[in-house]
Structure 1
Amino acid sequence: MIRPLASLTLVLVLATPVRAQQIFNFDAVAAAPTSHQVLLENESVRVLRVTIEPGATEPVHDHAWPSIMYFEKAQAITYISYELKNGLPVEARRIDAPAETLTGAVSSPPEGLHAVQNRGTETFTALRVEFKPQ
């Protein structure tokens, strides 16, 4: 009985540093694929359809490139920003935005770690055009 327990302890001790040093891919398509569908991608742009169901919060992700976001069906949202601490995302701030403020198109520089919660009663939908460096 002691031998299996010792083996388990050794495995846990050896695995811990690897897990702590793990590097995560926070790109929107990799980290939040349910809410970010690629409609078009080439060497210049990536076009995403962003959908978030009512009451849902998408996973933490980022956008490495400048972009334009066009709101198709805005809903009240909470924008949650994150910071990395010891390699893991930690919530830093929440901003509530009513649906009325999310109209038309907005431009954005590269966007750090964040998640969006749909507080509305319908699906939030938007198009995001990301501009890759040339």
Structure 2
Amino acid sequence: MLRYLLPAALTIMVGAPATAEEQDPFEAVVAAPASHHILLETDRVRVLRVSVPPGATEPVHVHKWPSVMYFEQAQPITYITYDLIGGKPIERARVDVPAEALSGAGTADPEGLHAVQNRGTQLFLALRVELKDGRPLK
């Protein structure tokens, strides 16, 4: 019996429709998959490896959950924020952040439309632990 149920169960799981966050075109792993890699995901937490090559600017995206960030290899960055106007992201502001300000770990509230530009000479690397229950961290 198990021999017949297992293939059916696998077909159902693999063929399941995309979740709501996967359908959001600005969700980080959808809009910026080259810089946001899922290392672990459960119904309560998602762990992302964030990597941005030197000189690169990642695509515009959001993070809808509060998170803990650990900067493995900080680089000087430009943090760019956007407004959504007529369905298109329009740049609002740029803030240059020195690598020293990104050392260690910290908490982050959900983030609206933004992108990160790596102004450094090495790969920018961070771990982001997103808490899906959405409770504030502060």
CA distance in 2, matches of 1:128, 1:94: 22
Equivalence map 1:34-53=2 (5 Å):
34-53=34-53
2:18 matched residue in structure 1: none
Contact 2:67 2:107 in 1 (8 A): yes
Q: Count the aligned residue pairs.
A: 112
Equivalence map 1:1-12=2 (5 Å):
none
Structure 2 gaps, min length 5: 1-22
TM-score by length of 1: 0.81
- Alignment-mate amino acid for residue 36 of structure 1: H
Structure 1 gaps, min length 5: 1-22
CA distance in 1, matches of 2:108, 2:49: 16
Give the CA deviation at 1:24: 5.8
Cα RMSD after superposing both structures: 1.3
2:120 matched residue in structure 1: 120
Give the CA deviation at 1:133: 1.8
1:83 matched residue in structure 2: 83
Secondary structure at the counterpart of residue 103 of structure 2: coil
Using the aligned pairs only, state the percent identity: 63
Structure label with greater radius of gyration: 1
Contact 2:24 2:30 in 1 (8 A): no
Residue-by-residue CA offset, 1:48-74 (whole Å, 9 max, x unaligned): 000000000000000010001100000
Give the CA deviation at 1:104: 0.8
